[in-house]
């Protein structure tokens, strides 16, 4: 499948999900009772993340936060609460139906939070070419999206470009413990379900490092689904990302399961500090 076909198929899948409100993907780990106090049900019911990147203490008051693949806006709205009225949040998504839901709920969330106007803006774009100024973002979050992008290295390079020096990212995503085999790479339904596009964690971290990020590490690791043999386990680790193999999208292998890590990293502060690979 070409990159364009994958992007189009994924977007159609999420347009359908936005229209039906069907359940997809994984438990995110958010406290929905708490989120319900300020986020409308229309948004919460299309929460398709696999972690809580905006629910982490990493979001600080007054920051400019970018959410890649913002969907119905759940993480943007949680980030909006955390950055407060002096901060700003930009959500990016390629699917019109998702953007429509997010945009119509932004003023409602602002009112519920007691903000004079919404500090969240939603822009239509693919993650591989974001309409965001160079060096303008303090923190990037993303929840179960980069696995859906056919060119992950391009996404990480864009993330590096838009972050200010010293800026950071915290993302939740799906990865696999083995390379995804060809038969799954051509399965459009499983692309949409965040499985076919999953990279092995080492390849995933390697993309971030190749894009220039420092201190890339895993914060959390929650097993999700197993194909060809069922097995669940839970672990936490913080490996260093340096010295990993070059980033490449897998084309063959025997893939058995996928996991949901939360990964963090930061952009170097000075041009000289950049490591060479």
**Applying CB under 6 A, which residues contact ligand SAM?**
7, 10-11, 14, 25, 47-49, 69-72, 74-75, 93-95, 98, 126-127, 143-145, 148-149, 194
Would you say 63 or 158 has its CB closer to ligand SAM? 158
In the complex, the smallest distance separating the C-beta of residue 92 from ligand SAM, rounded to whole angstroms, is 6
User: What's the closest the beta carbon of residue 202 comes to ligand SAM, in angstroms?
Assistant: 22
Report the residue number, 220 or 268, with the smaller CB distance to ligand SAM. Answer: 220
Shortest Cβ 273–ligand SAM spacing (Å): 30
Nearest distance in Å: CB 51, ligand SAM: 8
**Closest distance between ligand SAM and the C-beta of residue 150, in Å?**
7
Q: How far is CA 267 from CA 39, 54, 82, 166, 173, in A?
A: 31, 19, 22, 5, 19
Nearer of residues 9 and 210 to ligand SAM, judged by Cβ: 9
In the complex with ligand SAM, which residue's Cβ is closer, 192 or 244?
192
Residue 170 is inside which H or E element, if any? strand 163-172
Helices vs strands, H then E, count in the chain: 9, 9
Comparing CB distances to ligand SAM, the nearer of 120 and 148 is: 148
Whether 50 and 74 have beta carbons less than 8 Å apart is answered as no
C-alpha–C-alpha distance, residues 245 and 145, integer Å:
22
**Exposure on the CB side of residue 102, measured as CA atoms within 13 A:** 31
Phi-psi region of 226 (alpha: psi -120 to 50; beta: other; left: phi over 0): beta
């Amino acid at each position: 499948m070409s990159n364009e076909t994958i992007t189009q198929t994924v977007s159609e899948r999420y347009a359908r999900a936005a229209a039906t409100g069907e359940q997809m993907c994984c438990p995110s780990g958010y406290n929905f009772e708490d989120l319900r106090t300020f986020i409308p049900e229309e948004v919460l019911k299309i929460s398709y993340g696999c972690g809580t990147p905006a629910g982490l203490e990493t979001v600080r008051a007054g920051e400019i936060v970018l959410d890649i693949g913002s969907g119905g806006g759940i993480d943007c709205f949680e980030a909006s609460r955390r950055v407060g009225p002096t901060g700003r949040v930009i959500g990016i998504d390629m699917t019109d139906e998702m953007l429509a839901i997010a945009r119509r709920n932004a003023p409602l969330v602002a009112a519920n939070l007691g903000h004079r106007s919404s500090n969240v803006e939603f822009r239509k774009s693919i993650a591989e070419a974001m309409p965001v100024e160079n060096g303008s973002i303090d923190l990037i979050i993303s929840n179960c999206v980069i696995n859906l992008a056919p060119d992950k290295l391009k996404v990480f390079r864009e993330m590096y470009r838009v972050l200010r020096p010293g800026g950071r990212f915290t993302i939740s995503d799906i990865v696999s413990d083995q390379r995804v085999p060809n038969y799954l790479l051509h399965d459009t339904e499983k692309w949409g379900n965040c499985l076919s596009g999953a990279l092995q964690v080492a390849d995933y971290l390697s993309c971030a490092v190749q894009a220039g990020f420092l201190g890339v590490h895993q914060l959390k690791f929650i097993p999700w689904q197993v194909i060809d043999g069922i097995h669940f386990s839970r672990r936490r680790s913080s490996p260093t990302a340096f010295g990993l193999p070059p980033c490449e999208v897998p084309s063959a292998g025997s893939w058995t399961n996928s996991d949901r890590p939360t990964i963090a990293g930061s952009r170097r502060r000075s041009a000289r500090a950049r490591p060479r690979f």
